């Protein structure tokens, strides 16, 4: 039996209250972005020095030796950290007010990559099912990325240990759909309310359906950019 579930207590709330809460959320994210940029800078400086030193040491060691193999593991770990910091920095640097025609595939890909990079316990699996057709929408890349990331993180929080979520990207007439389906009941709260406002500001909508025993599905619906319908 399916039940349409408002995943946020702000559904049906007074619009003035919702706007106020959304502004608070936007301010919090802006501050968080500044902190992330500073943190990435502090991490990257010693990281680049470490990777450079590893390369020098590798050049002096015999390939296949135990010491060489251990340094390869150190280098691989360093490169993984570099990938994480780059993903965080790319997300934090995006200008929230920059409204252009953007690729929805790129936005979803970057959000998925960020979740995968920062998934410390590696116990959560993201499965992708994207249509081959390029989908372009008119909006803020940063804000839309924020919405997709919110849905992915919410699905992760709701999933049992070792759970998974499926991310679908498809076209429905003149609309582009981003669907995130995960196990468990997801309560997104304020983040979902802010995401709903962002989706509507881009001319779209955001909905959620909870199915007993199956999980929760979020659907982000956006109009295709002019010339793509």
What is the architecture, at CATH level 2, of domain 2-12+98-223? Answer: 2-Layer Sandwich (3.30)
Give the pLDDT score at 133: 92
Model confidence pLDDT, tens digit, residues 30-68:
556 666 667 777 788 888 888 899 999 999 999 999 999
Q: CA 89 from chain center: how many Å?
A: 13
SS3 of residue 20 by DSSP? helix
Give the pLDDT score at 106: 92
Distance CA 98, CA 82 (A): 26
Q: Is the pTM of this model over 0.85?
A: no
Q: Are 64 and 72 in contact (CB under 8 A)?
A: no
Q: Are 85 and 44 in contact (CB under 8 A)?
A: yes
Torsions phi, psi of 166, nearest 5? Answer: -110, 130
Residue ranges, the chain, pLDDT below 70: 1-37, 88, 90-98, 118-122, 160-162, 184-191, 212-214, 227-229
Model confidence pLDDT, tens digit, residues 174-185:
999 999 988 766
Give the pLDDT score at 7: 41
């Amino acid at each position: 039996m399916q039940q349409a579930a408002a995943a946020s207590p702000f559904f049906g709330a007074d619009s003035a209250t919702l706007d106020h809460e959304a502004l608070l959320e936007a301010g919090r994210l802006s501050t968080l972005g500044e902190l992330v940029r500073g943190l990435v800078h502090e991490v990257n400086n010693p990281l680049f020095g470490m990777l450079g030193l590893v390369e020098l040491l590798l050049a002096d060691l015999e390939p296949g030796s135990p010491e060489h193999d251990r340094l390869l593991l150190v280098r691989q770990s360093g490169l993984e950290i570099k990938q994480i910091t780059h993903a965080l920095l790319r997300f934090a640097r995006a200008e929230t007010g920059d409204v252009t025609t953007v690729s929805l595939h790129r936005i979803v890909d970057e959000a998925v990559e960020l979740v995968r990079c920062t998934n410390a316990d590696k116990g959560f699996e993201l499965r992708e099912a994207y249509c081959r057709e390029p989908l372009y929408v008119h909006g803020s890349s940063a804000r839309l990325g924020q919405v997709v990331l919110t849905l992915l993180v919410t699905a992760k929080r709701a999933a049992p240990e070792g759970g998974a979520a499926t991310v679908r990207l498809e076209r429905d007439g003149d609309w582009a759909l981003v669907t995130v389906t995960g196990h468990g009941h997801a309560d997104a709260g304020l983040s979902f309310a802010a995401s709903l406002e962002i989706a509507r500001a881009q001319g779209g909508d955001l909905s959620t359906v909870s199915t007993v025993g199956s999980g929760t599905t979020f659907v982000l619906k956006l109009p295709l950019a002019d010339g793509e319908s």
